[in-house]
Amino acid sequence: MTQPVALVTGANKGIGLETVRQLGARGAIVLAGARDEGRGRDAERDLRAEGVDARFICLDVTSEGAARQAAERIGAEFGLLDILVNNAGIATSGGLPSETSLAGMRQVLETNVLGVITVTNAMLPLLRRAAAGRIVNVSSELGSVTLMSDQGSPMWQLPPSVSVHLATLPTDGPTGTFWGYRWGGGPAGDYDVLPW
């Protein structure tokens, strides 16, 4: 069996970095997407020192050109993409909602919403070449470092990385679903498909 090829956006820190680490530990070649080359190369170096087959790929999710170039590189090098984890995201600068600038909100929408579409559209032809291509979009709840690291939070009881769990489901696993913790739906650790 050949190694699966995965792309993780926003992979130079936080949840993205850990997702790369865990996918690599499961035998994947992981393309660590980051818009900042210095940080991306640092992450690649550190992960490779841990034995992870991580490879930096320059990717600003807000740029159609950058997404297209990344897809071309992946296609030329691997011919397909097995896993896409849309993890890149930003938050507003904080403060009161009434102090949020329109420019700041545009940047958040460009990255967190339109960036997912931009990267997914660029990678779809490569994902379609895989035997069981999969796309995992990290939601805002699962993107909360605070909730993921708080031992009193239901998020703490997730598998080591919920995006890795979903990215490595069997080929007959669920598709086109919204998955997460079912608040009030049962005992702690009750994760399942959520209603849209």
* pLDDT exceeds 90 at position 111: yes
Q: If you average pLDDT over residues 126-143, what whole number do you get? A: 85
> Would you give the distance in Å from CA 194 to the centre of its chain?
19
Domains belonging to the chain, first-starting first, are 5-139 (3.40.50.720)
Strands, sheet with 83-86, edge to edge from the N-terminal-most edge strand:
54-58, 29-34, 5-8, 83-86, 134-137
Higher pLDDT, 168 or 136: 136
* Average of per-residue pLDDT values in the chain: 86
**pTM for the whole thing?**
0.80
Q: How far apart are CA 137 and CA 118, in angstroms?
A: 13
Q: What is the pLDDT of residue 188?
A: 47
For the segment 44-79, what is each residue's pLDDT rounded down to a tens digit?
Answer: 999 999 999 999 999 999 999 999 999 999 999 999
CA atoms in the 13 A half-sphere facing the CB of 93? 9
* pLDDT exceeds 80 at position 178: no
Q: Which long-range contacts (CB under 8 A, 24 or more apart) does 13-17 make?
A: 13/39, 13/43, 14/145, 15/87, 15/138, 15/142, 15/143, 15/145, 15/148, 15/161, 15/163, 16/85, 16/87, 16/88, 17/43, 17/47
Higher pLDDT, 119 or 182: 119
Q: If you average pLDDT over residues 2-20, what whole number do you get? A: 94
Q: If you average pLDDT over residues 30-36, what whole number do you get? A: 97
* pLDDT exceeds 80 at position 131: yes
